[in-house]
Each structure stands twice: as structure tokens, then as C-alpha cells.
Amino acid sequence: MKITKKNGRKTEVDKMEYLTSEKWHDDATISAYVRWINAMCPTVNSINTLQKTEELYTPYRTTFCMPKISDYSYTKVQAINKNNNTRYDAMETVITFANGDKVTVSCPIEEANQYTGFYTAIAKYAMGNSNKVNNAADYWINKFPKQKAKTEEKARRLKEQAKNIKRKKERRLQKEREDMEAKRLADKYKIKLIANKKYGVPLDFEP
């Protein structure tokens, strides 16, 4: 707002704000920044989605396309136990693929099954021809139930311990109430004795 004098009178004139080159540059920069943020939002969302996906899924392979099988065998072999370095009879499944890849799995002969060996070999190849499938099976079949049972047993003991603490607290409060009631009755009887001695009030008198 600008005040000017014209013919001795004060006149209020609105001061126009011209858009300078510097201000235009600032506005343009802000607009470009906003446009850039809006353009990046889908990318950020996709990255967040990818992170959540990685938390939910174990990326053994991004994509799995099994090549054709060119050869297969299921034979009896002599395997070695690495723990005690002893030999034992086992059934070995070998699958060879058209691209030259080969996967081998073995199982003690008393536990072996031809279909299970074939499926295990395919799963092992899908997981990069490593021991990941064995480790996963060992975890979910052997280790996880033991951990779950241990956790449940610990929770049961804690729950039982909390119940015992609660029962002890209730018994202690009950005893305190009984002691207070006994003390109140004893004090009341003492008062009656004093009244009987001084004023001859009967002991069975109730005010």
C-alpha cells in the first residue's frame, strides 16, 4: 500500500508487485522440485514394495525356469558319513539337464524313496544346487518344533509362576486381614475388661 498526495489530498494507491526474474526463477525451481517429487513417488512406492517383498520372500533365484532333463539315474552307492567317517549303503539320484547342469542327492537305503529323491533333486536345483533345501527341511522338520516346544514350555512355566505369585499374594492378604480382625477383637475384649473392672459393665454387653 502506497499513499500519495494529489491536489492536497492523500490518495491510497495499491502497490503492484512485479514478478522479477529472480522471483520467477525461485518459483520455477519450486515447481520443478514439486514435479520431481511427484514423479519420484511411484519409484519410492515400488522400492518400499520391493523391500516388503524381500522381507516376506527368500530370494533363492529371481526366476526359475527348469531346463529339460536329458538324463536320470537312481542307483545304489556307498556313501560316507562325514561325522564319523563311516560308509553306509545309500540310493543316489542324479539328474542331468540339457544345458549341462547336474544335480545329485542321496539318502540312506532304508529311508530312500525314488519319487522323494526325484523331487528333492528338482528342489535342490531350483535353490541353486546347494544345501539350502536340506537346511530348510532340517529347520522346519527338526529344529523348529523343538524351538516351538521349548518356547511353549517356557511360557507355560512363566504362566504357572505368575499364578503361584498371585496365590501367595492372596494368601498373604488373607492372613493380614485375619490378623487385623483378631487384633480388633482382642482390643475390643480388653476394652470390655477395663469397663467391667471400672464400671461393672458385663463382658457380654454390646453398645
Amino acid 21: pLDDT: 46
Among 36-40, 87-91, 144-148, name the one with the lowest average pLDDT. Answer: 36-40
Amino acid 63: pLDDT: 56
Please check whether residue 74 lies inside any domain of the structure. yes
Contacts of 117 (CB under 8 A, 6+ apart): 74, 91, 92, 93, 105, 107
Percentage of residues of the chain with pLDDT beyond 90: 41
Please check whether residue 9 lies inside any domain of the structure. no
Contact 124, 107 (CB under 8 A): no
Q: Is 72 helix (H, G, I), strand (E, B) or coil?
A: strand
Contacts of 4 (CB under 8 A, 6+ apart): 10, 11, 13
Tell me the H-state helices in the chain. Answer: 21-56, 114-126, 132-138, 144-199
Rounded to an integer, the average pLDDT of 137-151 is 91
Report pTM.
0.47
Amino acid 4: pLDDT: 54
Tell me the C-alpha distance between 91 and 176, whole Å. Answer: 73
The residues that bridge with 106 in the sheet, in sequence order, are 92
Give me the number of domains the chain comprises. Answer: 1
Please check whether residue 44 lies inside any domain of the structure. no
Please check whether residue 56 lies inside any domain of the structure. no
Q: Render 143-185 in DSSP notation, one character per residue.
A: IHHHHHHHHHHHHHHHHHHHHHHHHHHHHHHHHHHHHHHHHHH
Please check whether residue 15 lies inside any domain of the structure. no
Please check whether residue 176 lies inside any domain of the structure. no
Amino acid 66: pLDDT: 79
What is the span of the domain harbouring residue 78? Answer: 69-130
